[in-house]
Amino acid sequence: MLPRHLWGHIALLIAIVVILTGCGKAPADLVLLTTGNTTRTAVAAAVKEFEAENPGITVQIVNTPGKDYYVKSLTMLAGRAQVDVMWMGQGFGIFAGRGALLDLMPMIESDSGFDLSRYQSEVVGWYRQGQGIYGIPYGVETLVIAYNKDLFDAAGMPYPHSDWTVEEMIAAGRKLTQFNKDHRRIKVAGLGMKEIDYRYFGLTLLTPDHQRFALNTAEGREWLELTTQLVSERILQKGGELESLDRLTGFLNGQVAMMEIASWDIPEVKNRALFSWDVVAIPIGPGGKRAAWASSSGYSIVRSTRKPDLAWQLVKKLTNAGFQKQIVQRTVPVSPSLHEEYLSAHQGSPRHLSELLKMLPYMQPLERIACYQEIEAEWVYWRDQALLGKIPPAKALEQAESHINRILSLHTGPRPQ
Amino acid sequence: MKVKSWIALVFLGPNLLGFLAFTLLPIVASLVLAFYSWDLFSPPKFVGLQNFVDLIGWRINESGSLEAVNPRFWYYIYNTLFLMIGLPFAIFGSLFLACLLNRRLLGRNLFRLLYFIPSIVGGVGVYLLWKWIFQPDYGLINSVLWYLGLDGPRWLESTFWVKPALMLMNFWGSVGGMNVVLYLAALQNINPELYEAAEVDGAPPWLQFWKITWPMVSPTTFFILIMGIISGFQGGFDAAYVMTRGGPAGASTTLSYYIYETGFQFFYMGRASAASWLLFLMVMAFTWLNWKTGANRVHY
Amino acid sequence: MYKERRIADIRDVRTRTLEISKRTTIWLLLLLLGISMIYPLLWMVGTSVKTIDPILLAEEGARSSIFPEGRDILKNLFPERWHWENFIEVFREVPFGRYFFNSVLISGVVTIGQLITCSMSAYAFSRFSFGGRDKLFFCYLGTLMVPVTVTLIPTFILLSWMGLIDTYFALIMPGMFSAYGTFMLRQFFMGIPKDLEEAAGIDGCGPFRIFWHVILPLSKTALATLAIFCFLANWQSLLGPLVKVNSDELKPLTLGLLNFVDLNSANWPLLMASSLISILPLIVLFLLGQRYFVSGIRLGGVKG
C-alpha cells in the first residue's frame, strides 16, 4: 500500500479544502453589480449609508471593472443567480431589450420623496422603453474637442471658437498636419480621429424607429467618401477606438493638435498634459445641426429581484445628488442643478470646460436596442472595408444596409416578457 | 502491466472523478447547447442542426451560384490557421535558445530568467504596451525602423500586417517560456559522448544539431507541437479582446474571439457552442494526424 | 617527453582561445537578444516609478511621460526621480495583500493537488492496460480543445447548483484535475524504462510501491516542470475566477489588478507596480525550480 506519509499529505490537503469550503458566507439581502474604479469609493460609501439606514440588511457589492463587467453580469443572469441592482451604461439596451429589468414607474409614482424632474429629462428619456422607465441615471458622458494650444500658436493659427463648423475643423486639421521632408512620416497629426463622426453631419446609424439602416443615403455616401478621402490623405488617423486606453497617448505627447475626448478623459489629460490645452464644443455640421455621441451611467433593478422596494431605496442612494457630488471630478452630474459644482470642482482647468456642458442639449446616444452590439460590429466591418480602400464607400454602405437590415428584421419580433 | 481493475481505478479515480464533474460535465453541457437557440435570457429552444448550417452551410443565391451562408466564419478559420504559422518559428526559436542556454556561460541562470520573464508578464498592461509598440506614427518599432532609414508598416491598422504583428507578439511571449524549460531538460538527457564523437569526425555544428540534437529532442518537440496546435487553434482571444477588437475589418478575429463575440456580445450562445464543436473537431483531426504521423518520426 | 607536453599545451591553448571567442560571441548574441526581450520589462519598471501627480509631473517634464515619444524612447524610459512610494501606494489603494494571499493559496493548493492526482492518473494511463484506456485518454485530451468561453456559463450553473459560488472551493477544486498535467506526465512516464519496474516487481513490490519508490523519484524533473506550469497557469487565469467569485476578499491578483484599469483610463504607475509585485513569486519559483527542471526530463513514448 501507499507509504504512510503520503496519506498524511493527502489527508492534510483534504482538510485544507474542507476548511476552506466552510468559509462560505450567508447570502446577502441585496446583490449589487457595479463596475469601475472611479465610482468605487462613492459606491462603498453609499452602500454603507444604506446599510446604516436599513439595519439588518446586507448588500454585497460585486465590482468588475472594464469590459469584463458584461461577461460577469451576463453569466450571473444566465445562471439565474441572485442579482438585484445593476450598473447600467451603454449596455442598457441589451438588458432592457430582453426584458431583464424591472419597470421603475410604479415606484417613482408612489414615492413622494423622489422627484424625477431633478434629473435631466433627455437623459432620463434614454432609460424609457414604451411606457416604462427601466433605470435611473447618475451621470452623463459626452464629447468635446480638445486642442493643443502650443501647436496652434506655433502654426500661427487662431484657436477654435465655440460656433465653429465641421468645415473649419477639417481646414484647421489639414493646416496643422505636418509631415516630415519626404512626406512619409507624420510629425504632427492635425486631427487625431479615426473618422469624422457621422453624427457631426446630422446623420444617424438607424432610422428613428430602429427598424432600418439609415446611412445609405446621398448624405451618408458624401460623408463616407469625405472620410475615406481624408484617411487616404492621412489627415485622419486610422485606429484609436473611443474605448481604448492608449488613445490619448499621441495627444499627451504633443503629436496631435486636435482630438475628440470624452468627459471621463478630462482628469487624465489635465494631470498628464505638459503643454497648454483647452476644449471646445463639437463643431456645427453642414446642415447647421450639431450633435455628438453621448452616454449615461445609472442603476437599474433586475426583474428577478425578491426585494424590489429595498432595491429601489438602494438605487435612489446610488443616483441622488449626494452620490453625484461624490464623483463630480470624473463624471458630469445628470442633475442640471449640480453643473456649477462640476465646473468649480475642476478649478478652471481646462479653461473652457463649460464648452462641455454646452454640448448637453446636442447629445445623441447609441441606439439602445437589444441587438446593438451585433449591428455595430457589422457596421464597423463595412466601414473599415471602405476606410482601408478595399471597396468603394457606396458599395460598403450598400452591403452594410443589407446586412444590418437583415439583423434588425430578425430581432423585431415581440419582446419576450 | 496487467493489474486488477480496482487498482487501476484507485490510481485513476481521484482525477477521473474531478475530471468528470468539473471538466467534462460543463463541456458536455455546452456542446449540447449547440443544438439549441439560446440568447442567455429566455429559455433555450431546440433547433437541430440550424446553428451548424448558419456557420458552415452553403446555399444557392439569386444568381444561381453556390455561396457560403457565413463567409466570414471561413475567413476567421483562415485567420486562426494563418496565425499558427508562427508556431514552427516559436518551436525552433525555443530550441535554438535552449541550445545556447545549455552551454556553460557567464550568468547562464540570469539569461534563462531573462528569457523566461516575457512569458510570465501578463495582463492588460502588457497588451496595451504592445499596442503602443505597434503604433505606426510614434510607436517603438516604427521609430526604430525610422532611424534605420526604413518605413514601417501600419501594423495593427492594416489587414495584412496585423497578423504578423500579433505573431511577433506571441513569439516574444512564448519563445523563452516553458518550451525552453522543456527543451533544456531534454538537452540534458543527450549523452555528451555523441557530440564528442561527432567533433572527432569533424562534423560542423549545424550537422551535429541536425543529426544528434534534433532527433534526440523529438519526443519533446512532439509534445510541444501537440500542445501548440491545441492552444494555437484557441489562440488570439486576449489580443483581440484587449488590442484590436478583432479588426481591422475582421482581420484579427480568430475562432476563439468569434466564439466569445457570438456568445457574449451577440447573444447566440447556441451558435457559439456549435462553433466550438467545429473547433473541437478540427483540433481533434489535427491532433490525431499528428499522433499518427508523429509516432513514426519520434525517436525514443 | 617534455617536448611532447609543450606541443599538447600549445594545441590546448589554441583550442581554448577558439572556445573562448566562440563563447563570447554566443554571450553577446544572448545579451543582444535578451535586451530586446526585456525592453517591455524595463518599461514596466520605469513606468512603475513614474508619478501621476500633475505638479510633480510638470516639474519633471517629458521624462515622466508614460509612453516616451520617438527619439526619447530609451532616454525617457526612466523618470528623473524614482517614486518608489508607488509600491506602497498599491497596498493602500486596494486590498493588495489579500489578493496576493489568495493567489498564492489558490495556485499553491491547485498545484499540489494536480501533482497528486495527475501523477496517479498518468501512471495508470502509461502502465496499466484496461479496457477503453486509450479512448478515455483521448477524451482527456479532447477537453483541452474546447474554448473556455463556452464553458463559462455551464461551469457557473454547475457550481451555483452545488452552492459553491463565491467560495475558495470553487476556485481550487475544479483546477486540481487537469488533462494537461495528465498528458504531460504520461508522456514522461512512457519514457521511463520498464525494466526497473520489472525488477521491482520480481522483488515483490506491488503497483503502489513501484509508483512511490520507482516512478516518482525518477520523475522529480517532470513534477517540478508541471508544478511551474500549473502554478503559472493558475496565477494568470482570469475568466474562471471572474465568474466564480463575487466578493473582494476572495479575488485573486488577476481580478484585483483590474481595479487599476478603468473602462476608460488606467493608473499606469500603480498598474505596473502591482504587476511587478505580482510576478515576483513566479520569478522566485522559477529560480527555485531551475535546479530540478533542467536536470533531465524525457517526454518519450507516443504509443503505449
Asked whether C109 and A17 are in contact (CB, 8 A), the reply is yes
Q: Which residues contact B174 (CB under 8 A, 6 or more apart)?
A: B90, B94, B119
Rounded to two decimals, the pTM is 0.89
Q: What is the pLDDT of residue A305?
A: 92
Q: Which residue has the cell 446621398?
A: A218
The CA distance from A400 to A153, in Å, is 42
Written as nine digits, the cell of A337 is: 442643478
Which residues of chain B does A241 touch, with a Cβ-Cβ cutoff of 8 Å?
245
Quick check: C56 contacting A, CB < 8 Å?
no
Rounded distance between C-alpha atoms, residue A293 and residue A345, angstroms:
24
Nearest chain A residue to B249, by CA = A381
pLDDT of residue C20: 80
What are the pLDDT digits (tens) for B266-293?
A: 999 999 999 998 999 998 888 888 877 7
Residues of B in contact with C155 (CB under 8 A): 22, 26
CB-based contact (8 Å) between A374 and chain B?
yes
Q: Which residues pair with A145 in a beta bridge?
A: A260, A280
Strand partners for A258: A147, A191
Query: Which stretch of DSSP H or E encloses residue B45?
Result: strand B45-46
* Total residue length of chain A: 417
Kindly list the residues from chain C whose CB atom is less than 8 angstroms away from the CB atom of residue A79: 153, 156-157, 160
Q: Half-sphere exposure of B81 toward its Cβ, with a 13 Å CA cutoff?
A: 10
Helix extents (H) in A54-111: 68-78, 92-97, 105-110
Burial call B79-110: b when 16+ CB within 10 Å, e when fewer:
bbeebbebbeebbebbbebbbbbbeebeebee
| Structure-block grid coordinates of residue B72 | 466570414
How far is residue C278's CA from residue C299's CA, in Å, rounded to a whole number?
31
Q: What is the pLDDT of residue C302?
A: 36
pLDDT tens track for B116-133: 888 888 777 788 788 888
Q: What is the mean pLDDT of each run of 10 residues along chain C (304 residues)?
A: 58 74 82 82 85 74 68 73 85 86 92 90 84 81 86 88 87 86 84 77 79 82 86 88 88 84 70 86 85 56 35
B85 or C67, which is more confident: B85
pLDDT band at B52 (very low <50, low <70, confident <90, very high): very high
Q: Which of A86, A78, A91, A73 is closest to A32 using CA atoms?
A: A86
Q: Give the Cα separation of C59 and C82 in Å (integer).
A: 13
* Burial (Cβ within 10 Å: 0-12, 13-18, ≥19) of residue B271: buried
Record: contact C208-A31, CB cut-off 8 A: no
* CA distance, residue C99 to nearest chain A CA (Å): 14
The A residues from 274 to 333 touching C (CB cutoff 8 Å) are 274
pLDDT digits (tens, 9 = 90+) for B123-164: 777 887 888 888 887 778 887 888 787 888 888 888 889 999
What does each of the 417 residues of chain A score in pLDDT, given as a tens digit? Answer: 445 555 566 656 655 655 555 455 667 899 999 987 778 889 999 999 999 999 989 999 998 888 889 999 999 998 888 999 999 988 898 899 888 999 999 999 998 888 888 999 889 999 998 889 999 999 999 999 999 999 999 999 999 998 999 999 999 999 998 887 766 677 888 888 888 889 998 899 999 888 899 999 999 999 999 999 998 888 887 655 555 667 787 888 888 899 999 888 888 888 888 889 999 999 998 888 888 899 999 999 999 999 999 999 999 999 999 999 988 888 899 999 999 999 998 887 888 999 889 888 888 888 888 899 999 999 999 998 998 888 999 999 999 999 999 999 888 754 443
How much is the pLDDT for C141?
A: 84
Which region among A308-322, B88-102, B103-117 has the lowest average model confidence (pLDDT)? B103-117
Note whether A76 contacts C: Cβ–Cβ < 8 A: yes
A381 in contact with chain B, both atoms CB, cutoff 8 A: yes
- Residue window 213-252, chain A: list those with CB within 8 Å of chain C: 243, 245-246, 249, 252
Closest by CA position to B124, among listed A134, A24, A65, A192: A65
β partners of residue A364: A293
Kindly calculate the radius of gyration of chain C based on its CA atoms and give it in whole angstroms.
26
Residue B97 predicted with pLDDT over 80: yes
Residue/partner pairs of A127-131 with CB below 8 Å, 24 or more apart: A127/A88, A127/A92, A127/A96, A127/A296, A127/A298, A127/A300, A129/A96, A129/A97, A131/A105
pLDDT of C304: 31
Size of interface A-C (CB pairs under 8 A): 134
Bridge partners of A32, per DSSP, are A61, A85
User: Which residue type, as a one-letter code, is found at position C166?
Assistant: D
A378 to chain B: nearest residue by CA?
A: B249
Cα separation of B31 and B28, whole Å? 5
pLDDT of residue C1: 47
Q: Shortest CA distance to B117 belongs to which of A165, C38, A309?
A: C38
Q: Cα C101 from chain centroid?
A: 17
- Give residue C70's pLDDT: 59
With an 8 Å Cβ cutoff, the interface of chain B facing chain A consists of 39-42, 72, 124, 128, 131-132, 135-138, 146, 151, 154, 156-159, 241, 245, 247-250, 261, 264-267, 269
A290 phi-psi bin (left φ>0, alpha ψ -120 to 50, beta other): beta
The chains found to touch C (3+ Cβ pairs under 8 angstroms) are A, B
Q: In angstroms, what separates the C-alpha of C2 from chain B's closest C-alpha?
A: 26
Number of H helices, E strands in chain A: 17, 13
Which chain C residues are within 8 Å of B115, Cβ to Cβ? 33-34, 37
Nearest to A279 by CA among A333, A341, A351: A351
Mind listing the pLDDT tens digit for each residue in B16-33?
Answer: 888 888 888 988 888 899
Q: Closest-CA residue in chain A for B125?
A: A245
Closest residue by Cα to residue B242 from C244, A68, C260: A68
**Model pLDDT, residue C72:** 66
Chain A: residue whose CA lies nearest to B40: A78
Separation between Cα atoms, residue A318 and residue A308, nearest integer Å? 15
Cell of B17: 472523478
In this complex, do C243 and A272 lie within 8 Å of one another by their Cβ atoms?
no
Helices (H) and strands (E) in chain B, counts: 17, 4
With bands split at pLDDT 50, 70 and 90, how would you rate the model's confidence at B75?
Answer: very high
SS3 A279: strand
- B40 DSSP 8-state letter: S
Amino acid at B239: A
Of residues B176 and B1, more confidence is placed in B176
The strand pair at A30-34 and A59-63 is best described as parallel
* Strand A186-191 with A256-262, pairing: parallel
Using a CB-CB distance cutoff of 8 angstroms, which residues of chain C are in contact with residue A36? 262-263
Of the candidates A297, A310, A334, A340, which has an alpha carbon nearest to the alpha carbon of residue A117? Answer: A334
What CA–CA distance (Å, rounded) separates B255 from C171? 27
Nearest residue, CB atoms, A241 vs list B40, B138, B245: B245
Q: Running DSSP on this structure, what letter comes out for residue A306?
A: S
